[in-house]
Amino acid sequence: MATSASSKLNKAVKHQYMDLPQGDKVQAMYIWIDGTGEGLRCKTRTLEFEPKSVEAMFRDPFRQDPNKLVLCEVLKYNRKPAETNLRHSCKQIMRMVENHHPWFGMEQEYTILSTDGHPFGWPSNGFPGPQGPYYCGVGADKAYGRDIVEAHYRACLYAGVQICGTNAEVMPAQWEFQVGPCEGISMGDHLWIARFILHRVCEDFGVVGSFDPKPISGNWNGAGCHTNFSTIDMREEGGLKVIEESIERLAKRHMYHIQAYDPKGGLDNARRLTGYHETSNIDEFSAGVANRGASIRIPRTVGQEKKGYFEDRRPSANCDPYIVTEALVRTCVLKEEGGEPTDYS
């Protein structure tokens, strides 16, 4: 299996330099979403002081304190948001509903690949054993790449990302981390930084973190980004009624959400949402308690306690969390109808 040339460099030599004092200067790594709407890019500049008031700023787990990771919005030449800058609109919508205190939790699935695109740890000219033993599995024959997962988890905690868990997924070399609960715009901020940290950790290990919704065709699970959502009305007594009303609205706007839930307007998700491998069919809306094959799943405990949250299982692994969270708020809180979002600008 191919590995990157950079992974073969002696990391101990690098640390000899990273341990040098940096004086009173601060390195700020600026991170932005590129023109594909999926890729991340970064560059660094030296600051004379440690910034305090930047909105989407995190500690840098690679260079460590006092250095920073700074998430940026992309503007065009006329200072209007770039087409792939979905944060701008999301923030406007979240401001409109801040009294509802929308909470989100996103479950980010991803696949570890060698640099030749082959899943990490898979036989070079074949397949591992069928799915079954890998989900939450333990052991060298079941868990492929746990070192990367552990490094990513600790780096996220150091950075201040609201990471709340991780587990091995159904397909070997596939993993998941969960971010949340986050309120409003912070959901997208924290998930994008968690993705950036994953890419950087994978770079150090000489592998690739892929968010492809269906990296291996055939009888293998795809990768999604299940999104848990609630408002204060859903979390309080009698909240199940509010949840059920929201699901009725979601049913009427199914295709609007499908188009919002992957960067290619549903084409990526069409490879994943087949009705098999714990997914719903992309053309049909469904909901149910504890049903992993439904578009919307109401957790069993929510059905019992009559309050809480619901899980939208449709977003793809490569979704933009800004438009996913915005779409949920537009449909469930602002109660938009029809196939197009309302322009509130």
Structure confidence at residue 293 (pLDDT): 86
Helix (H), strand (E) at residue 112 = strand 103-113
Q: Is the pLDDT reported for residue 345 higher than 90?
A: no
b/e map of 9-37 (b: 16 or more CB within 10 Å)? eeeeeeeeeeeeeeeeebbbbebbbeeeb
CATH topology for 92-332? Creatine Kinase; Chain A, domain 2 (3.30.590)
Assign domain 24-84 to its CATH architecture: Roll (3.10)
CB atoms under 10 Å from CB of 96, counted, come to 14
Residues carrying CATH 3.30.590.10, the chain: 92-332
Distance CA 72, CA 165 (A): 26
Distance CA 46, CA 58 (A): 16
Distance CA 212, CA 179 (A): 19
Distance CA 192, CA 165 (A): 16
Cα–Cα distances in angstroms (integers) from residue 59 to residues 33, 44, 295, in the given order: 19, 14, 36
pLDDT 10s digits, 89-114: 999 999 999 999 999 999 999 999 99
* Average model confidence (pLDDT) across the chain: 95
Q: Is the pLDDT reported for residue 3 higher than 70?
A: no
Q: Is the pLDDT reported for residue 257 higher than 70?
A: yes
Q: Is the pLDDT reported for residue 78 higher than 60?
A: yes
pLDDT 10s digits, 188-199: 999 999 999 999
3-state secondary structure 252-299: HCHHHHHHHCCCCCCHHHHCCCECCCCCCECCCCCEEECCCCCCEEEC
The residue whose two tokens read 């330099």 is: 17
Distance CA 236, CA 234 (A): 6
Residues carrying CATH 3.10.20.70, the chain: 24-84
Distance CA 30, CA 339 (A): 36
Structure confidence at residue 1 (pLDDT): 53
